[in-house]
Structure 1
């Protein structure tokens, strides 16, 4: 796996370097070709002007009517300079590059036409080979003839094709260098990656570009570590919670099965076995509920229902009323039937889950209250226009340091009385998950002068 990654990185880096080098070389070639062409063009134009003036001066200073004399004067031009002598009607009298008799009439040539009208003219024409162009300059002589001088030069493509072999050699060399450099850079990069301690990525001496990636890796490790610790704690707590009723059930069942229980004790033992079995079922049901809430992405939960907090609070309180009376706790719902109709607090969510949330909060408030205590349930809209559900009790209260821990699975503030109060220790964990699914915030505060206030604030 490591070797394959290194090859892939080396290939990628080498290709990137080769592309960059190729682009740079091509741009340099274009710039160089254009610069060379501009220089050659200016030099050729200057030479054509110089040759034209020199030849015209020589012809005008001689016997301008004797064509033979003029031809001899024109022969002083270098071999690469084309010299053409043209009559006023466009007929070619003399050309040092071709037989004058075979040439067409030049009266339509731009430089010739301008010379006949203004005394001088110039033009540039590309040859059929597409790699050369000729610069012409023509002047009107004293005898009425036109003298035209031309020099052929490489055009922009001709210059480019001239340097093409050098360009190909540079590109081949650059490709070889890029492959070697790419492999070297890749090896160095992979070596740095191999040196990173993924258990402590932020302590590694790595390029700053990798810091965001390593930061995410570290955050993920922290989350995984926390989840692992939470899983181990959950497994331990679940085992402990299930072990107690199993021990009771096993012990009493063994007494009955072995004939060691007195006949008059058997009904009491059966009631205890049944109570512990019910408690185990409640734990299993809550564990399944938590599992489903945590995996809500695969559940078909409708969060678009209009849910009346006031109505759910009234209905849920009726379900807990008998348990509250049994524990001598006064349960008050601070919402009248008229208020449900006129001042109802409605949120968007899932009615079943909200009902479960309210039920767990009220049951906890009743279960962990004092004899003769009081529980008040209220739904309202606060000053910030948040829909709020408030459950307050007059129980023993929750210390500030433990207000976040009470939402952990199986956590109880008072473990000594947990068996007497009942419950599975999962109620507030379920409340927290339901609140999170609805984007709600849970606050835990003191209830003056005694007890605790749970407030769930739903989004606007």
Structure 2
């Protein structure tokens, strides 16, 4: 996460503007009153020119100070939203865990109930783990070097795994995510790609309509670009807000009035990781006019003829676990 903004610049700017204002008033009084006679007209013009220059600089300083103040207020508001969302995201699973543990401790439960409780508690732990990973990853992004281990990743298989994990998290049928994937390889850190696509798929399902329908396509273009498009059937994002959503702590609307959980860090992490990989991400509306399309473009993609490969360092996404702890 970027370093905290220093208050040095606004303070220095305010002090300089106050000093210039005092100098302007004193200078005009000093030059205007004695120069009321017509013996030195050039001096009056010089005083007028200096005063006008000082006034112009003051106006620029006031505008700059106002812009910095608005930026600071917006950042404070986003941070407050972030604190509200994290507080809610922490309290909800903890309260759920406490309830299940108290029930198991105070009552006789059947083996089937115990199994169900353990599964629900594991989902709550997964939710906490995801939240903590988001916060820690956002804090490390701006400072860490690109030192994660890279290998040949089968992106089509990774997308399938991410889609299954997201459906498991929301307890939805895997049919809601339609996959149209060409076999493609990409030299990248598997953890980074997993975080990128899991965040985008999670958002697509979370912000879709009551009956989510998500379409994911993967293509390797001739220029070596790997292109992933994720389309949902949600309400969409207004064009004027599409650039804003990739900022830190940004969530549209007021935090306490939202029904969807989140921290405002997911898309910030996605954009930063994609930039580190030399790629691009853009947001658009589908031809139907409803929903949102996220398009990810990553360089270095390579089409393959099938699922088999002879790369020694090829990444096998099957080793990842689902949100229920079962190997996929």
- The two structures have a TM-score, normalised by structure 2, of 0.55
Q: Give unmatched runs, 5+ long, in structure 2.
A: 1-11, 27-52, 300-328
1:319 maps to what in 2? 161
8 Å CA contact 1:374–1:394 kept in 2: the answer is yes
Distance in 2 separating the partners of 1:392 and 1:441: 11
8 Å CA contact 1:312–1:355 kept in 2: the answer is no
Deviations 1:96-116 (A, max 9, x none): xxxxxxxxxxxxxxxxxxxxx
Residue 262 of structure 1 pairs with residue 104 of structure 2? no
Secondary structure at the aligned position of 1:389 is classed as: strand
Residue 301 of structure 1 pairs with residue 146 of structure 2? yes
Q: Which of 274, 280, 284 lines up with 1:444 in the alignment?
A: 284
Distance in 2 separating the partners of 1:194 and 1:352: 62
RMSD: 4.7
Q: Give unmatched runs, 5+ long, in structure 1.
A: 10-186, 196-204, 341-345
Distance in 1 separating the partners of 2:118 and 2:83: 29
Distance in 2 separating the partners of 1:426 and 1:378: 25
Residue 253 of structure 1 pairs with residue 104 of structure 2? no
Aligned residues: 245
- 4+ aligned runs moved over 6 Å, structure 1: 305-308
Distance in 1 separating the partners of 2:252 and 2:56: 46
- Residue pairs, 1:32-431, within 5 angstroms: 189=20, 191-192=22-23, 207-257=55-105, 259=106, 261-264=107-110, 265-293=113-141, 296=142, 298-301=143-146, 313-320=155-162, 322-323=164-165, 326-336=173-183, 352-365=191-204, 373-379=213-219, 387=225, 389-400=227-238, 403=242, 407=246, 409=249, 411=251, 418=260, 426-431=265-270
1:453 maps to what in 2? 293
Q: Indicate the structure (1 or 2) with the bigger Cα radius of gyration.
A: 1
Distance in 1 separating the partners of 2:123 and 2:130: 11
Residues 222, 368 of structure 1: alpha-carbon distance in 2 compared, 3 angstrom cutoff: closer
Q: Which of 433, 436, 441 lines up with 2:272 in the alignment?
A: 433
- The two structures have a TM-score, normalised by structure 1, of 0.42
Residues 194, 286 of structure 1: alpha-carbon distance in 2 compared, 3 angstrom cutoff: farther
Displacement of 1:320 in angstroms is: 2.5
Secondary structure at the aligned position of 2:285 is classed as: strand
